[in-house]
Amino acid sequence: MKVVVTFGTFDVFHVGHLKILKRASELGDKLVVGVSSDALNIKKKSRAPIYSEAERCEIISSLKFVDDVFLEYSLEEKANYLRSHNANLLVMGCDWEGKFDWIKDEVDCEVIYLPRTPSISTTEIIEIAGGIHNNA
Ligand code: C2G
The predicted-structure confidence for 50-101, as pLDDT tens digits, reads as follows 999 999 999 999 999 999 999 999 999 999 999 999 999 999 999 999 999 9
Ligand 1: residue whose CA is nearest its atom 25: 8
Question: In the predicted model, what is the mean pLDDT of the chain?
Answer: 94
Q: Which amino acid is located at 70 in the chain?
A: F
Confidence of residue 107 (pLDDT cuts 50, 70, 90): very high
Q: Among 10, 12, 111, which is best to mutate for testing ligand 1, by the most ligand atoms less than 8 A from CB?
A: 10
Query: Which CATH architecture is the domain 3-135 placed in?
Result: 3-Layer(aba) Sandwich (3.40)
Confidence of residue 134 (pLDDT cuts 50, 70, 90): confident
Neighbouring CB atoms inside 10 A of 122's CB total 20
The model's pTM: 0.94
Pocket of ligand 1 (CB under 6 A): 7-10, 16-17, 20, 36, 44, 72, 75, 92-93, 95, 116-117, 120-121
What DSSP state is assigned to residue 51? S
